[in-house]
Amino acid sequence: MGIDVGGQSTKIGVVTAEGEIIAQTVISSLQTELIDYINELTKAIKGLIAQTAEAGKVKGIGIGAPNGNYYKGTVEYAPNLKWSYDAEGKPTVVDLAALVKSFTSLPVTVTNDANAAAMGEMAYGVARGMKNFIMITLGTGVGSGIVVNGEVVYGHDGFAGELGHTIAVRDGRQCNCGLKGCLETYCSAMGVRRTAQKLLMASPDVKSPLRDIDMESISAKDVYDAAEKGDEVALDVFRTTGQILGRSLADFVKFSAPEAIVLFGGLAKAKKYFHDDLVAAMEENQLQIWKGRIKVLYSSLKDSDAAILGASALAW
Amino acid sequence: MGIDVGGQSTKIGVVTAEGEIIAQTVISSLQTELIDYINELTKAIKGLIAQTAEAGKVKGIGIGAPNGNYYKGTVEYAPNLKWSYDAEGKPTVVDLAALVKSFTSLPVTVTNDANAAAMGEMAYGVARGMKNFIMITLGTGVGSGIVVNGEVVYGHDGFAGELGHTIAVRDGRQCNCGLKGCLETYCSAMGVRRTAQKLLMASPDVKSPLRDIDMESISAKDVYDAAEKGDEVALDVFRTTGQILGRSLADFVKFSAPEAIVLFGGLAKAKKYFHDDLVAAMEENQLQIWKGRIKVLYSSLKDSDAAILGASALAW
């Protein structure tokens, strides 16, 4: 089974060795008590196994979760998972693998959601057959999964691949993590909103359908919809996003010399509006040996499928 | 045997399985004709084997060279090796492994010099027992060798680990590679010279023994000597160097979550003048999960020994 733990919902799928999702279900992730979440999760797992008559055939469970630690099977200090908060209202460490194992009697492995997506892409998606690539997930934030020699890089402590918090702009935008100028403050759904706000304020005379929306509640989807209508402000937002992402990607290549960068997540759907600027910025900031040689690919799997498939690959 | 190919000289050593260098010699690297270099090199190899009466016991040769490619056994476009230039006076591709193998009948492996140093440090130095660390070589330029899961990262094409060319300062100093603001334009011997020139010009009223030296010919060694005398300009140069290196290291950690960063090379000898600022900048730019957790170590091996030992480890 592959399980994709998101901030809003948790998706659970039974996956065959060939990578076919033969049954799936969804539960909420919004519980504020850990016991309530684990209760619903384990019941859903058992229900799904019973429903597909695959009991006994399910060999293990792989879970992709924000701040998931592969070595420890934990979810650590995940601000978006309320059930991981302690009595004082702060995110803490949850032994997710141990808990799920206790109530299902199946082997359980945990990794972070971007690593799970990378595994899904490697096993069943555009990175099939690749030994070296970097997965960048462009969602509410920016996550990453790095594959070297066919293996996900976990690092010394299991937390490798926090490329969303490398500094894209020195002394730039304030990030939730406490640092300034992190890539995710520019190249995530949140980042797109902030860039839109900035460009709207910088050009008060330029007309835009985005001005009909309350500034604080503009979403990346609103910017996408405006771009679809040909709005120059929205188009400029995506161009800027592509430029900043492209030059950061150039630096990532200098680390692990991947065959490809694979982009994934909600924001990747706007690729037609940022791809050209991304590639131009990446090439401009690239060393000669890699100019024109690093592919920029987009996930071909449905968002939820990639995460479930990747998590299940982890279980295999 | 381990061979360390440098821009000035090539060091060759016979190394036992225990990591003892039982014989070594040095030849020049300044030949302008490839055949002359290979001739001297292979004669030195054979002479060393004969001299140590280890003929038949030498199992293979590992070579660390600038722009060495592990997969292909080549040295590619190395500006500092004149014998690698083509008839038009441009650096080209030299099949170093194939050539040395042809004339010695021994198996030959090539990697870049920073990777060789990382292997030496892992086998015999401060990184012994570590599975995840990043080696940064602070010499004329800045090189890097990245170790993940006990293996050097080579990437898709064999060129992984060009961290000296990640952008430390956006639109910063012009680098030889064509990009602007590369880490090596600040945190190498060249970078120290440029920072010294800049600070001297920015504060014409501040006295400094460095003013007795022609601006263009100031070396990192001169700055070190001035720092030894307590010169404020020189001390400021090293503080600045440490700050820029520290914040770049913080970003490198976000990639592979290493247990330690190992610093190596001529500039590392000035550690007492930059270490505190380096660590402060690294911590200030670090994510909470890694604050205070990543060791910054300095190579304990002699410069030439680390490279010879590392290259020999590659042969093993």
pLDDT tens digits, one per residue of A278-291: 999 999 999 988 99
Q: Which helix (H) or strand (E) holds B117?
A: helix B113-124
pLDDT in tens, A139-197: 888 999 999 999 999 999 999 999 999 999 999 999 988 999 999 999 999 999 999 99
**C-alpha dihedral sign at B34, B35, B37, B38:** positive
Q: How far is B253 from chain A (nearest CA, A)?
A: 8
B156:A251 CB<8 A: no
The H or E element that residue B280 is part of is helix B271-284
CB contact under 8 A, B156 and A287: no
**Interaxial angle between packed helices A113-124 and A303-315, expressed in degrees from 0 to 180 and rounded to the nearest 10:** 90
Give CA–CA dist B83/B81, Å, rounded.
Answer: 6
Per-residue pLDDT for B54 more than 70? no
Hey, of B255, B285, B291, B297, which one would you mutate to test binding to chain A, going by the most A CBs within 10 A of its CB?
A: B255
A255, A287, A293 member nearest B255 (Cβ): A255
Segment A33-74, tens digit of pLDDT: 999 999 999 999 999 988 886 667 899 999 999 889 999 999
Query: pLDDT digit string (tens) for A100-145?
Result: 999 999 999 999 989 999 999 999 899 999 999 999 999 888 999 9
Residue A300 predicted with pLDDT over 90? no
Structural tokens at position A37? 């979440």
The pLDDT of residue A305 is 84
Interface test with A, best of B183, B251, B259 (most A CBs within 10 A): B251
Using a CB-CB cut-off of 8 Å, the residues of chain A touching B165 are 254, 287
Pairwise CB contact (< 8 Å): B76 & A289: yes
CA-to-CA separations, A233 to A177, A189, A197, in angstroms, rounded: 28, 16, 10
Question: What integer pLDDT is reported at residue A54 of this predicted model?
Answer: 62
Q: With CB atoms and an 8 Å threshold, state whether A255 touches B161.
A: yes
Q: CB-CB: which of A155, A177, A247 is closest to B258?
A: A155
Quick check: B272 pLDDT over 80? yes
Q: Is the pLDDT of residue B259 over 80?
A: yes
* B165:A287 CB<8 A: yes
**Cβ contact, residue pair A257, B155, below 8 Å:** yes
Angle formed by the axes of helices B220-228 and B232-256, nearest 10°: 120
Q: Is the pLDDT of residue B268 over 90?
A: yes
Nearest chain B residue to A133, by CA: B156
Query: Is pLDDT at A304 greater than 80 in this prediction?
Result: no
Report the gap between the CA of A165 and the closest CA in chain B (Å). Answer: 7
